[in-house]
Chain A
Amino acid sequence: MDFDLSEEQQLLRDVTRDVLSRNYDITRYNEIINGDLGWSRQVWGQLAEVGLLGLGFDPTEAGQIEIMVVMTEIGRRLAPEPVAQAALIPGGLLAEVGTDEQKKILDDVSAGTALLAFAHGEPRTRVTTGELETRAERNGDTWTVRGRKNPVLGGDSADKIIVTAALPDGGVGLYLVDGTATTRHPYRTFDGRRGAQIDLDSVPAEPLGGGGDAREPVARTVIRYQSALCAEAVGAMDEALRLTTAYLGERKQFGVPLKNFQTLTQRAADMYVSLELARSMNFYAAMSISDGRFDPVVAARAKLQIARSGTHIAQEAIQLHGGIGMTAEYPVGHYAARLTAINNTFGTADDQLRALTGEIGSYGTVSL
């Protein structure tokens, strides 16, 4: 058992931190998220240059720990680039099940010249477990898919979209669809990120890999996605707490710094407890995947803790700042928004609890 990053992983962390902190402060952040694209192609290019956009495509080179390291820095700097959404997560799925021909696009993804998206969730559903309304239809040797996917994060700008669809004979298939072949309704999410509703009107679809039932790789992809979101959230929580403690030291009221008031410092201490519990569960999620254990229970455990801690830290960070925490020109509120959005992506706290309550009778003493 070992909770330390290797030297290479520390280097990866430092490089990511360096690229992002060079590019983003709150002014730049507000400019970028209010632009058309919502993120910066220039930053994207830099991330590609340092080799971050292909992490995990070759599992012998990098895995979930590396993804965790990068996503934590994304969260810390609140970088709006869709690194997980448009590159690492759908790319990892393509790398796992795609044909050699299909995998060729991964070179472009790594180079930052092609964007992907994973289109799985459907309207008015919560955690998508396999009952999909989007259907795959066979016409001789070719396939089409028909249905509606929403929300698809990064779906607004994806060149290729990996779509899940119910197979005619049961099971879930994975299909590669051209972004331009779909009808896209792009939008901005409440935290300044980008997504789209993807309408699929019997569009041509290429089975990913050999085709057939892909429920297992889909489940693994969701687990990887959840782990990446947990890591991003931990980075965001870490920075939200840092901003808060710095503010308690700087801001004066009644002639003294706010940190003279125990009613505030006690609450900051509770935020620290929440952060460290979240960090532990984030490690648990990534280390499990890294050990080859793709367990939805582990993912639910981690994401539940991240939701509890993230909500607590987001709310308290704003409250301890006071009015300034409510403004768009100060970062802390943006962290709160991002943490809230992460909670509602791939399962809320209650969704995770629902998954866990289904298990509690199946063992006596809870264990890792």
Chain B
Amino acid sequence: MKLALSDEDAAFREDLRRIYTTEIPADIRERTREGELNYPDDLVISQRILNEHGLAVPTWPVEWGGKDWSPLRRQIWLDEMQLAGVPEPLAFNAKMVGPVIAQFGSQELKERFLPPTANIDIWWCQGFSEPEAGSDLASLRTTAVRDGDSYVINGQKTWTTLGQYADWIFLLARTNPEAPKKQAGISFLLARMDTPGITLRPIKLIDGSYEVNEVFFEDVRVPADQLVGEENQGWTYAKFLLGNERTGIARIGYTKLWMSQVKERAAQVRLNGATLLDDPLFAARVAEVENGLLALELTQMRVSGSEADGKPNPASSILKLRGSQLQQAATELFVEAAGPDALPFDAGDDIDVPTWAGEAAPRYLNFRKTSIFGGTNEIQRNIIASTILGL
């Protein structure tokens, strides 16, 4: 047992820190910290720089840009990126469709899609959830019917995050409605977003933001060579994707940055002749969240270190569950620190409240999503109970 990094790993970390802080533009990193990235440009610029340095998709197979790093190095890559305020590569590309194509796609699909996916020349979005298929994803109703050299897709997807910037969508559709199990008749398809018959409708969220969409498919004709892997095997690929999505979802580095901002801001709030940060009640809440972050960081190191064959460890459900709770706790502390200054919304520069305070409550509301997406926390508990505890 040893806590300290080896000299080689420490040098590796230094190298990454240097690249992150010197190659990625400072204004993008500042906007990441403040939670106000300019979409899609900031993300595209940042991911392309990372890709130039071989840092966009290190977890992919080596021949497609992967690095074959140890689990620890993968963790360092991600943690340092977050701590430096570098936006993570687009998850739909780097963590979702890319690994699925690399693992299950034909050579032709790999050559066609993996390089532009790594370089974000294609912006992908995800077509999994449906109005009647949330946690019970396998009950999805969107259909794809083979007709000559194409599939004809009909149905509706929802919660499609950042779909408004997407060039392509990867989706699950039912290709065999007669299959004995609902999981058995599903396929994994790729479609251009400008294919005739696809329409996108924005969903406005409780914080006033627009980041998710409904996607409608009406007789959408997609070439059959945009099927990934085999027909009716899509559920296997989807489970692989969801397992990958859960790892690295804890966002510990970003939450650490937030907690340092919470402290900075609380130190500027006057309270009884001192500051809010000096208040034992508030300070205890800060200390408790910080401690939770370190406990989760160590747990993440233990869990990722045990993923020898690249298969996600079921214990990674802890990372999703606890990581989302800590993100939410941090957003709550911003609202607490803002106090009455949290109330004016989008009120303009004439109103004498700090910008961060005006953004605190919308972000708090927005981050209620983290315990719902990527498999709700209740689903994560079910995974732990059944897979780990044998219940």
Interface residues of A (CB under 8 A from B): 1-6, 9, 65, 241, 245, 248-249, 259, 262, 265-266, 268-270, 272-273, 276-281, 283-284, 286-288, 290-291, 301, 304-305, 353-354, 356-357, 359-361, 364-368
- Return chain B residues, CB-CB under 8 Å to A288: 3
A304 to B293, CA, bound (A): 13
| A5–B283 touching, CB < 8 Å | no
Picked from A4, A356, A361, the residue with its CB within 8 Å of the CB of B1 is A4
Q: What distance in Å separates the Cβ of B103 from its nearest Cβ neighbour in chain A?
A: 28
- Top 6 closest A-B pairs, CB basis? A280-B298, A269-B381, A357-B283, A269-B384, A265-B385, A356-B287
Q: Which of B141-149, B217-225, B252-260 contacts A (4 or more CB under 8 A)?
A: B252-260
Q: Which of B193-201, B299-307, B353-361 contacts A (4 or more CB under 8 A)?
A: B299-307
A356 to B289, CA, bound (A): 11
Q: What distance in Å separates the Cβ of A279 from its nearest Cβ neighbour in chain B?
A: 8
When A248-B391, A280-B298 are in contact, do A269 and B1 touch as well, CB less than 8 Å?
no
**A-B residue pair count with CB separations less than 8 angstroms:** 146
A266 to B385, CA, bound (A): 7
| A3–B305 touching, CB < 8 Å | yes
- Return chain A residues, CB-CB under 8 Å to B283: 357, 360
Which of B283, B295, B378, B382 counts the most chain A CB atoms within 10 A?
B295
| B287–A357 touching, CB < 8 Å | yes
Specify the chain B residue showing the minimal Cβ separation from A368: B294
A361 to B2, CA, bound (A): 29
| A280–B299 touching, CB < 8 Å | yes
Between A and B, 21 residue pairs with Cβ closer than 8 Å are A1-B2, A1-B3, A3-B1, A3-B302, A265-B385, A265-B389, A266-B381, A266-B382, A268-B385, A269-B381, A273-B318, A273-B384, A276-B302, A279-B302, A291-B2, A304-B288, A357-B286, A360-B277, A366-B256, A367-B256, A368-B294
Specify the chain A residue showing the minimal Cβ separation from B2: A2
Interface residues of B (CB under 8 A from A): 1-6, 9, 72, 83, 256-257, 259-260, 263-264, 267, 277-278, 280, 283-284, 286-288, 290-299, 301-302, 305, 315, 318, 321-322, 378, 380-382, 384-386, 388-391
| B291–A304 touching, CB < 8 Å | yes
A259 to B256, CA, bound (A): 37
| A276–B315 touching, CB < 8 Å | yes
Please name 9 further chain A to chain B contacts, defined as beta carbons within 8 Å, in addition to the given A305-B292, A356-B287, sorted by A numbering. A1-B2, A3-B305, A269-B384, A273-B321, A283-B298, A284-B298, A290-B2, A353-B284, A364-B263
- Return chain A residues, CB-CB under 8 Å to B321: 273
Q: What distance in Å separates the Cβ of A346 from its nearest Cβ neighbour in chain B?
A: 17
| A301–B291 touching, CB < 8 Å | yes
| A272–B3 touching, CB < 8 Å | no
Picked from A269, A291, A366, the residue with its CB within 8 Å of the CB of B4 is A291
- Return chain B residues, CB-CB under 8 Å to A245: 389-391
Identify whether the interface residues of A are mostly helix, strand, loop, or mixed.
helix
- Return chain A residues, CB-CB under 8 Å to B259: 365-366
- Return chain B residues, CB-CB under 8 Å to A2: 1-2
Q: What distance in Å separates the Cβ of A77 from its nearest Cβ neighbour in chain B?
A: 21
Which of B256, B291, B296, B386 counts the most chain A CB atoms within 10 A?
B291
| A276–B299 touching, CB < 8 Å | yes
- Return chain A residues, CB-CB under 8 Å to B284: 353, 357
When A284-B3, A360-B290 are in contact, do A277 and B299 touch as well, CB less than 8 Å?
yes
| B296–A277 touching, CB < 8 Å | yes
When A269-B381, A360-B286 are in contact, do A286 and B1 touch as well, CB less than 8 Å?
yes
Picked from A1, A269, A304, A365, the residue with its CB within 8 Å of the CB of B301 is A1
- Return chain B residues, CB-CB under 8 Å to A266: 378, 381-382, 385
A262 to B293, CA, bound (A): 28
| B294–A284 touching, CB < 8 Å | yes
- Return chain A residues, CB-CB under 8 Å to B378: 266
A4 to B72, CA, bound (A): 14
Specify the chain B residue showing the minimal Cβ separation from A244: B389
- Return chain A residues, CB-CB under 8 Å to B9: 1
| A368–B298 touching, CB < 8 Å | yes
A4 to B292, CA, bound (A): 22
